Amino acid sequence: MMAANRQLKICLVGVAGNGKSTLGNILLGLEPDDDGGFETSSGARSCTLGVQWKDGNFRGRAGQPIRVIDTPGHGDGEGRDKELRRNMVEELKKQETIDAFIWVKNAQDPRYTKTEAEYFQILIEIFGGAYFHNFVVVFSRWSFSEKEEQKRNKLKKPVTFEGVKAELWDSFLRDYKGNRSLVQVPMMAIDALYDSSDKSEVDAFENELRLLWHTMNQFSAKPVSNIEMALTKIEKLKKQVEEDQDKVKKMKSRLRQMEQQKQRELELQEAEYQRRIKEAESKIKEEKERMEGPPWVKFISFLATPLAMLLGRRLAIGK
């Protein structure tokens, strides 16, 4: 929990066009499009071309000092993500600590998108996974008016705020391979364009802002002193990984070539051995035939044995 009157540093994150700058103005007690606040935009083009911050008090009330840090939106429609990301790293290095990260999410599109996954990977690379401990989701474009509530209830599949929160968190967990050990972060909805004449909208606006202030005050400030390694080093490491992967690929290709060459050599050796075996067998056969002589010699040898036996018996009788 933060000490009394210590300035609370709040970092707004999210994709372009979801209302980060508008929320920043509301937190400072300004009108959504106040000329003295952050520049706002309703499209996918990011109005925030670099990290900007403004000091003031929460909702303009004395004794609640805050610094709102507005970051460039990822998924910028003009393809400036890399430039904006580099600027974000360099500027956030100037902040010693961050007390709270507010993910501004469009309630009309509650699913966790590929663009957001890319953006959060950047934040993890900058701050490490510990920043999730200081994380809050604030939904924009969710009206608490009775009229809008009735419209949502008449839909074929009624839409509730609890359902929107569940859809976001379930899709977020699916991207993290279903890691259910992650504790759901606090979520609330702040309608910057609420109707001040509608009591239900006014009450919801006040209640959600009180909840946000209370939640942020429970966090412990996260240091960003080691952020200088974030972008340059990460890009260098990624390049090294790519180079090493290319080397491994070439080594595997070379190994396959060596194996193929070795296989060919073995096949040639085997063929040579087979030739030598056949040659030796042929010579053995020839040598045997030479030693045994022609077929008639075999016949004489065959007759010689019984004749010798007969002659031997006669000689024995004559004696």
- List, for residues 250-304, the tens digit of each pLDDT value: 999 899 999 999 999 999 998 888 988 988 888 888 877 777 666 655 656 655 6
Q: For residue 236, tell me if it sits in a domain.
A: no
Distance (Å, whole) CA 256 – CA 252: 6
Q: How confident is the model at residue 15 (pLDDT cuts 50, 70, 90)?
A: confident
Give long-range contacts, CB 8 A cutoff, 24+ apart: 179-188: 182/132, 185/132, 185/135, 185/136, 185/137, 186/135, 186/136, 186/137, 186/211, 186/215, 187/136, 187/137, 187/138, 187/139, 188/136, 188/137, 188/138, 188/139, 188/212, 188/215
pTM for the model: 0.66
| One domain for residues 146 and 67 | yes
* Domain termination site, one of 198, 229, 260: 229
Averaged pLDDT score across all residues of the chain: 81
Q: For residue 319, tell me if it sits in a domain.
A: no
Per-residue pLDDT, averaged over 50-73, amounts to 91
| One domain for residues 192 and 303 | no
- Distances in Å between the alpha carbon of 159 and those of 108, 163, 164? 10, 7, 7
**CATH code where residue 101 lies:** 3.40.50.300
Residue in 89, 72, 96 with CA at minimum distance from that of residue 9: 96
- Residue-number span of the structural domain to which 204 is assigned: 8-229
Question: How many domains would you assign to the chain?
Answer: 2
Distance (Å, whole) CA 201 – CA 203: 5
| One domain for residues 142 and 194 | yes
| One domain for residues 34 and 61 | yes
| One domain for residues 85 and 128 | yes
* Domain termination site, one of 208, 229, 250: 229
Quote the tokens at residue 241: 């990984």
User: Which stretch of DSSP H or E encloses residue 127?
Assistant: helix 114-127
Q: For residue 2, tell me if it sits in a domain.
A: no
Q: For residue 132, tell me if it sits in a domain.
A: yes
| One domain for residues 45 and 179 | yes
| One domain for residues 188 and 278 | no
Q: For residue 318, tell me if it sits in a domain.
A: no
